[in-house]
Amino acid sequence: MVDVKKFEDSIFKDLNWLKIKYEKNIIKQSEHFAKYEKYIKKLRDLNLIYPCWATRSEIKKFISKKSVSKSSWPIDPDGQYIYPKIYKNISKAERSNLMLSGSNFSWRLDVEKAIVSSSRKIWE
């Protein structure tokens, strides 16, 4: 088992050595999983996210098959290929089967729907 306290202490030691100032009230992601789940549920209820089973390597493979050249596929500001919506429009039955299979997935934001609904604050 990983000694989290030892790992955290090492980070603070490095920050101090580098003379990087940081807030003393550290927020740990692991202490906020319930909050994340609440907002994921809200986004799901609003139909603004969908599950995606594509890995980065699958996305790259898809793009290389569909694109004349890799440089012709759009990229985001971080240099990653824009997701080609491989799992966005699958049938409800296919989505349900994949969910029941237990395969790992990530939630993806439906950007088009999010832009349309951005006039109202969903986090309140």
Domain range spanning residue 68?
33-117
Confidence at residue 93, expressed as pLDDT on a 0 to 100 scale:
96
Count CB neighbours of 76 within 10 A. 9
**Each residue of 68-101: pLDDT tens digit?**
665 688 888 988 888 888 899 999 999 999 999 9
Largest CA-CA distance found in the chain, in angstroms, rounded: 55
Q: Domain tally for the chain?
A: 1
Cross-strand pairs, 52:
106
- Is residue 122 domain-resident? no
pTM: 0.69
User: Shortest CA distance to 109 belongs to which of 46, 42, 50, 23?
Assistant: 50
- Is residue 24 domain-resident? no
Confidence at residue 69, expressed as pLDDT on a 0 to 100 scale:
63
Confidence at residue 52, expressed as pLDDT on a 0 to 100 scale:
95
- Is residue 23 domain-resident? no
Spell 62-72 as b/e; 16+ CB within 10 A means b. Answer: bbeeeeeeeee
- Is residue 74 domain-resident? yes
Q: What parts of the chain have a pLDDT lower than 50?
A: none
- Is residue 58 domain-resident? yes
Confidence at residue 123, expressed as pLDDT on a 0 to 100 scale:
57
- Is residue 21 domain-resident? no
- Is residue 108 domain-resident? yes
